Amino acid sequence: MPSELNARVIAVIARMQKIPVDSVTLDKTFQELNIDSLDGINIMFEVENEFGIEIPDEEARQIRTVRQMAEGIEKLLALKQA
């Protein structure tokens, strides 16, 4: 069962891509979800708003999967709380 963070990331991606939540899993790549670079930028902005974080541009460019996004957000949230 995905953690709350994973579920929130998946929900944002599904909402932004207008696809069913159950079609988004941690193991999906952005390519498999038909997320192009513009969609990716919009999803990053939405995720930043959802979690109250700022994803550094260099890290954002390296995100290619739902799992990478969730793990990156988890790290940023941990740093924010430290």
Residues assigned a catalytic role: 36
Query: CB-based contacts of 62: which residues, under 8 Å, 6+ apart?
Result: 68
Closest CA to 77 of 4, 21, 12, 11: 4
Radius of gyration of the chain (CA): 12
